[in-house]
């Protein structure tokens, strides 16, 4: 998957890096991984940096509902990132 995560324990910053061609499914799977592996178990996250400078997005028209559905499903995590 062209999405990776880097967590700096000193600063508490999680960096999500996207490279290459990314479709909506890959983006949602990457956020799901972040929620499960980084955000939920580690409550010391102070911030998140999204680095998509080297990414090429390939989203289909009308696919935005998938993002809405994903966030509704994972809304229990939202309080952790505030």
The percent helix, strand, coil of the chain (3-state, each to 5) is 40, 35, 25
Report the candidate in 8, 3, 11 with the shortest Cα–Cα distance to residue 27: 3
CB atoms under 10 Å from CB of 3, counted, come to 19
pLDDT beyond 80 at 76: no
- Per DSSP, helices labelled H in 1-82 are 24-34, 64-73
Q: Note if the pTM is more than 0.75.
A: no
- pLDDT attached to residue 34: 79
Give the pLDDT confidence of 15-73 residue by residue, as tens digits: 889 899 988 888 888 888 877 777 656 567 788 888 989 988 887 777 777 777 877 77
CATH code for position 44:
3.30.750
How many residues in total does the chain contain?
A: 82
How many domains does the chain fold into?
1
Distance (Å, whole) CA 1 – CA 18: 9
Domain range for 37: 3-81
């Amino acid at each position: 998957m062209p999405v990776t995560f880097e967590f700096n324990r000193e600063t508490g910053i999680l960096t999500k890096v996207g490279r290459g061609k990314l479709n909506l499914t890959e983006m949602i799977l990457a956020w799901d991984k972040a929620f499960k592996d980084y955000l939920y178990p580690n409550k010391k996250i102070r911030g998140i940096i999204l680095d998509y400078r080297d990414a090429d997005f390939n989203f289909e028209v009308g696919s935005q509902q998938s993002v809405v559905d994903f966030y509704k499903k994972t809304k229990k995590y939202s309080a952790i990132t505030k």
